[in-house]
Chains A and B, each alone.
Chain A
Amino acid sequence: MSDDIKDKIELIAEESITKISKSKNLNELEDLRIFYLGKKGLVTSFLKTMKDLEQSEKINIGKKLNLLKNKLIKNIEEKKLHLNDALIQQKLLEEKIDITLENDHEQYGTLHPLSKTIDEISAIFANMGFYIEEGPDIETDYYNFTALNIPLEHPARQEHDTFYLQPNSEGTRKVLRTHTSPVQIRTLEKIDIDQAKEIRVIVPGRTYRSDHDATHSPMFHQCEGLVIGENINMSHLKGTLIEFLKVYFNSNNLSVRFRPSFFPFTEPSAEVDIGYKKLSDGTLDIGQGDSWLEVLGSGMVHPKVLEGVGIDPSKYQGFAFGMGLERLTMLKYNIPDLRPFYDSDLRWLKHYGFLGINEINLHSGLNGVFS
C-alpha cells in the first residue's frame, strides 16, 4: 500500500512540475495551483489521507508530500514571476513609437559675425596685455580731425566723406566719427602717462562715412589700437600686428607685408597686406600666395598728436593701428558681399552667425570645438 502511494506521489511530482513549467499564462498556472494545492487539490487530499497511515509510513510519506508541496509552491511562484515579466515585456513591445518624429527642437539663436570678430580681436589683444576703450559716435571736429593732425582744408579730410549734424544750440556742428582714431586722443587725455608708464588699448566701434555702394556702407566698424610707452618702436608694431594676424586668420605661416603709406596722425606710416591666392572656385585662400590684400593701416604715433595731448614725444612714443572689421570678417569667413551685414535677413544671420554659448578666448580656441 505505501509503495503504491509512493509511486503515485512520484508520478504526481513528475507530472505537476512539467505542467507548471509548461503553463502558458497566469490563469493556467492558477488552475494548476488549485488542481494540486487547492483545498480539494491532489496533494492536499493526499495529505488528508495521511491520518489513515501507519506511524512509520506517515513520517516517510508525509516528508515526501511536504517536500513536493513546497517544491510546487516555489515553482509556481517562479513561474508566476516569469509569466509576469513576459507580460510586461509584451506590453513594452506594444508601446513602440515612431522614432522618426521630432519635437520642435529648441533652437539657439545666433550672434552677428561682426560681434564674433570683435570678440575674437578682443581676446587676441587681451592676451597681449591690451584693454578695451570706447568713445562716442557723435564727435567734435577737434577729436575727429584737428587733434589727429588733420587741419581744416587738409586734403586728407576730403577722403573722409564726413557726415555732419545740424549745428546745435551753441552753433557748433558735430560730425559722426569717420574712424575710431578720436578715441586715441580721448584715451591719452584721460591717462597720466608719467604714472601709467605704458598704455595698450584697442577700440572697436561704429564709424560712419557718407558713401553707399557695393563696397561701402554709410555705417561700418573699425578697431583702433594704440600703444604708448618709453621704448616702443616700429619693430613692436610689426611684431604685434603679425602676431595678431596669424592668430586671427588661424595661419601660422601667414605672409604679411608692410608698405610705406601716409596717415596724418602717424609718422612713419605703414599699410599691412596679407598674402592670398585665389582658388578655382573664386574663393580666397588666405595665408600665402602671390597676391596681397590690404587689411590694416598703422604707424608710429605722430609727435604732433602726442604734443597735442601734453605728452612729450622725446620721452614717450608708440604706435597706432586701425582695421576695417567688415573686411576682416569677410576675409576670414569667406562672406562675399558687404551689404547683407546690415540687411538682417534671417537666412543670412543663421548661415553666417555664430552660437553665443561658445566661449571666445585663447584657452578654448577662437574658432569653436574643432579650432
Chain B
Amino acid sequence: MKFTFSWLKDHLNTSANVNEIVDCLNKIGLEVSNLKTYKTDVKNLKVAKIIDVKKHPNADKLNVCIIQFDEEQTQVVCGAPNVKLNKKYVFAPSGTYIGGIDLTLKKAIIRDIESNGMLCSEKELEISDDHNGIIELPESINLNENVSNYLGIDDSIIEIEITPNRGDCLGVRGIARDLSAFGIGELKPLKLNNLNDEFNSSINWEIKLPDDKKSLCPSIFGRSFRNVKNIKSPQWMVNRLLAVGLRPISSIVDVTNYVMMDIGRPLHAYDVNKIDGNTLTVRISEKGDQFNALNGKTYELDDSMLVISDKKGVDDLAGIMGGSRTGVDENTTEFFLEAAIFCPISIAKTGRYLNINSDARYRFERGLDFNSPEVGVIYASKLINDICGGSCSNIVSIAQKKSNKDIIFDFKIIKKLTGVDIDESKVEVILTKLGFEVKKNNKNWNVVVPSWRNDVERSEDLVEEIIRIFGYEKIPTNVLPVKSYITKPSLGLKQRLSLYSRKCLSTRGFNEVITFSFLDKLNAKRFGGGEENLNLVNPISSDLSHLRPSIIPNLINVCNENIKRGITNLSLFEVGPIYKGDNCEDQYNVVTGIRCGNKINKNWKNSELKFDFYDVKSDILAVLNVLEFPVSRLKIYSEAPNYFHPGRSALFKLGNITIASFGQINPFCTNQKDKKIEFFGFEIYLDKLPSPKRKVLSKPLLKLNHLQSLSRDFSFLIDNELNVEDLINEIKLIDKILIQEISVFDVYQGNNIPKDKKSVSLSIVIQPADKSLTDDDLEKLSSKIIDRVFKTFAAEIRSH
C-alpha cells in the first residue's frame, strides 16, 4: 500500500514531519517498507517557456534555447529531441541539485556555448525512468506556478506492508485513523456532500442467488451519471495515482481508483449505453460462461463464480475485474457506478482459480467495511461531479441489515496476556479513537467493533489493538522461571544420532553439505523412488520435481559440479531426510557420504592412493562405533541396491534389518559420460538402529594380562570365492582365549598362484592367559590352525 505524505494530511491533521510519521507507522504495526523522498532541490524548479531555439553550431544533436522564467531570460543548451519553440518545460537553474543524476548544476560551457541550467526529464527528477525527452508542461500553466507542486514532487511516497488482517488500512483514511489513535494527529471528518438526485437511475440491481448463497452478496449499491465528460483527470489526481503506482486512464476510471486508494472502497463503472437492458444481475456463473476481462483476456467460467451480467451475459467478475464489453471509454457520457460487498472467500477462490490479481480482489479478499458501499458512492459522486460535470441519479441498492459485533471484554485480560499495567481511561481512549464503542457496565465492558474491523473477533484481538497503540516497548521484560537446575539433554535420541554422526564424519575429512529435498524424475527412479504421490504438482523446475528417495544422487550431483570447477578429491556428506511415502513414518533420517578422487595425492613420500570400497566401509564402522552400535554383531551381505556397483557393494545387517548399504556407486548412476570417475558412497539408516532399552553406564571389569603377547604369520592359498572373513572366523574358533586378534597383511593373486586361488597372509596375535607359552605349545597351536584351515577350506599353507 502506497500513499503520499500530502495525501495522508487530507485525512490527518498533524504537525509531525514525514520521518516522525514513518516511525509511528512502524510502532503501531504498519511496517514501512519504503520511503521515497525526492532528492532534487524542488524549490528551485521553474516553469520555463522557450522563446528562441537554434541548432548548436558545434553539435548536431544539441539545441541552444533562450528561455523565459519568472521575470528573467537565460540561455541553456538542450539535447532533448522534444524541445520546441513556445512550449513550456521544467527548468532547473545553475546551483540546483538534481536527484536523478546526483549532480549539482553549474554554469557550463558546452562546446563553446554557455548554458545556465537544465531542462529536466522525468528520470532526472526521479518521477519515472523515462529519459526519452524533457517533461512538457501544458499551455495553460502560468510561468509563476509552483511547478514542483504541480508535478507532485514536493511530496514523499510512503509504502507500507499491510498484513492480511488489516483490510481497513488499504485506504489512506484507515492509516490516518490508526495514526490518530496513537496521538500523532487528529482524524479529520470525511467530507460527504450528498448531491441531489436529478433523475431516476436508468439501471437497477437484481440479486439472483439461491437462499443459501445470499451471503455471497449481502450489499450492493449503484448510481447513474449523465452528461459527463470522460476527460483527462486533473494534474493533482494524476500525480497521486502515479505516485502510488496506478496508471491514469480517464477521469471516470481514475476516480474509481482514487476512491479505492483514498478510503479503501473499490468501485466499478459501466457505460450505460453498452449495457443490454436496464438490469444488472448478481448471480452464480454457469458452466461455459465466457468472460472478456478488461485486461484483454478471455476466461472460461465454471458453475461457482459470482458474476454480474446483463441480458447479453456476464460482463463483470464480481470484486475481481470488470468486463471489456461494458467498460467506459473516452466517449462515455452516461455511466453506472457499482459498490458492493462480496463474500471474501468466494472472491479468493475465483481469483485464485482464474489466476487474476487485481487491486479490487486484494481488498475484497481482506474484507471491506460493510457500510462502505453507500459512503463510497456518495464520496465518488462529488469527485465525478467536480471533474466530469453532468448530473447524478438516485442511489439504487439491495442491502441486508448487519449490526456491528460486540465483545464482552474483561479488562484484566490485558495484564494476564501481556504483563502490562494500563489505566482504564487510556484503554478507553485508544479503543474509541480506533472507532470502537466502549460501553462500561460493571466488571466487564461491552466493546462494539466498528464495521471496518472484520478481523477483530474476541478479547485477545482487542488486547492487541490496545497494546500496539500503547506501545510494545512498554511491555515488561521477564525471563522464564527456572524449571530445574539439573540439566536434562534437550536433544532427543534422533538428534544425538545425527549430531554424533556429523561430528565423526567431519573429523574423518568429510565436508558437510545440505542439498534440496527434491531432485529430478530420472534420478528419483534410479535411486528407488519416483512414485506419483512424491511428485510435486508445482515444482520450481523439472530438476526439482520429486522428493528424494536417497541423498546419494544429490551428492553425486554436487561432486560433479565441484569436479567441473577442478576440485576432484571430494569427501562430502549430508545427514538428512529421504522419503519413501507421503506419511510421517515414511520419512527417514539417513547419514549419506560420498568419496571420490584421491585419498592421498602423489607426494614426495608416497605415491597416489585412490579412495576405494574399503574406505567407505571404514567410514560406516567409524560412525557406528561413535554411535555406540554393537559393530561386532553386524553381518555383511552382497545384495546392495541397484544403484551400487554389482561387484563392489554390500549391506550391513543386524539380524534382518539393513543398517547400512555402501560400495562403489553404479557407474550408470553417476551422470558421468565416460564413467571414468569412481564414486564410493554409503547410507546409514539412523532410524533403523536399535535403541538400547536402558543405557548401562557402568563398564565391565577390566582384567589386564601382564604376559607378553606374540605374533605369528601364516600364508594360505585359498579359493578365490572364499571371503577372507570366513577364513578368519574359522581360525578364531580354534582357541578363543589364545587367539586375540587376526589381521590381514597381504592378499595376492598373480604369478605363482593358480588362477582360481588367492594367497592370503595373516598375522595372528597370541596372548598367553595364565603362563608363558613354550615353543612346543606354540608349535601345537600352529599345527591346529593349519590343520583346521586345510580341513575346512582345503586350503594349503604356503608359509608360516
Q: Which residues of A approach B to under 8 Å, CB–CB?
A: 101, 103-104, 106-112, 114-115, 119, 122, 125-126, 128-132, 134-138, 152-156, 158-159, 163-169, 173-174, 176, 198, 200, 202, 206, 208, 210, 212, 218-219, 227, 232-236, 238-240, 242-243, 257-262, 264, 267-271, 300, 302-303, 317, 341-347, 349-350, 353, 355-357
Contact = CB atoms under 8 A, between A and B. Distances in A.
Q: Which of A138, A166, A258, A271 gathers the greatest number of chain B CB atoms within 10 Å? A: A138
Contacts of B484: 129
Given A159-B164, A212-B540, A137 B587 contact: yes
Contacts of B538: 163-164, 210
Interface in B497-512: 499, 502-512
B165 A262 contact: yes
Contacts of B468: 260, 268
B534 interface: yes
A196 B751 CA distance: 73
B577 A257 contact: no
B470 to A, nearest CB: 10
Given A165-B534, A165-B582, A259-B472, A268 B467 contact: yes
14 contacts: A115-B502, A135-B584, A166-B535, A206-B517, A206-B576, A236-B419, A258-B475, A260-B468, A260-B472, A262-B163, A267-B464, A346-B567, A356-B502, A356-B506
Contacts of A303: 458, 460
Given A104-B600, A138-B547, A259 B587 contact: no
Nearest to A154: B164
Contacts of A128: 479-480
Contacts of A104: 600-601, 603, 606
Contacts of A137: 517, 577, 579, 587
B582 A346 contact: no
A167 B166 CA distance: 34
Contacts of B606: 104
Interface residues of B, number: 99
A102 B256 CA distance: 79
A344 B97 CA distance: 48
A235 B475 contact: yes
Contacts of B537: 163-166, 173
The 10 tightest CB contacts between A and B, nearest first, are: A356-B506, A260-B29, A262-B163, A235-B419, A268-B464, A260-B468, A126-B490, A344-B558, A155-B164, A168-B533
Contact of B516 (A198, A218, A232, A243): A218
Given A109-B510, A122-B490, A233-B416, A357 B503 contact: yes
B14 to A, nearest CB: 20
A345 B515 CA distance: 11
Contact of A130 (B490, B533, B565): B490
B348 A107 contact: no
B349 A165 contact: no
B482 interface: yes
Given A198-B483, A239-B478, 6 more contacts: A101-B604, A109-B571, A125-B490, A176-B517, A260-B27, A349-B513
A138 B579 contact: yes
B582 A168 contact: yes
A7 B539 CA distance: 114
Contact of A164 (B163, B477, B504, B536): B536
**Helix, strand, loop or mixed for chain A's interface?**
mixed
Given A132-B490, A236-B478, A344 B561 contact: yes
Contacts of A107: 509
B508 A136 contact: no
A325 B540 CA distance: 21
B566 to A, nearest CB: 10
B326 to A, nearest CB: 28
A135 B349 CA distance: 30
A149 to B, nearest CB: 11
A153 B418 contact: no
Given A109-B509, A236-B480, A259 B29 contact: yes
B174 to A, nearest CB: 15
A53 B761 CA distance: 76
A260 B515 CA distance: 35
Q: Which of A208, A234, A238, A261 gathers the greatest number of chain B CB atoms within 10 Å? A: A234
Given A138-B582, A257-B473, A355-B506, A239 B480 contact: yes
A219 to B, nearest CB: 5
B461 interface: yes
Q: Which of A111, A344, A353 gathers the greatest number of chain B CB atoms within 10 Å? A: A344
B27 A109 contact: no
A165 B535 contact: yes
A269 to B, nearest CB: 7
Contacts of B514: 112, 114-115, 341-342, 344
B582 A234 contact: no
B248 interface: no
Contact of B506 (A202, A227, A357): A357
Contact of B348 (A108, A110, A134, A155): A155
B572 to A, nearest CB: 7
Contact of B491 (A108, A132, A236, A262): A132
B638 interface: no
Contact of A357 (B507, B533, B544): B507
Given A156-B164, A303-B460, A270 B472 contact: yes
A163 B417 CA distance: 35
A92 to B, nearest CB: 22
Contacts of B31: 259, 261, 271
B463 interface: yes
B452 to A, nearest CB: 16
B709 to A, nearest CB: 29
A272 B281 CA distance: 49
Given A262-B166, A300-B417, A243 B562 contact: no
Contacts of B567: 346-347
A343 B577 contact: no
B479 A344 contact: no
A351 B604 CA distance: 28
A154 B348 CA distance: 8
Contacts of B517: 137, 176, 206, 208, 219
A135 B604 CA distance: 52
Contacts of B200: none
A163 B544 CA distance: 11
Given A109-B512, A136-B587, A344-B562, A356 B365 contact: no
B166 A165 contact: no
A345 B504 CA distance: 21
B464 A302 contact: no
Nearest to A359: B503
A218 B544 contact: yes
Given A103-B605, A349-B512, A233 B419 contact: yes
Given A138-B547, A218-B544, A345-B565, A166 B533 contact: yes
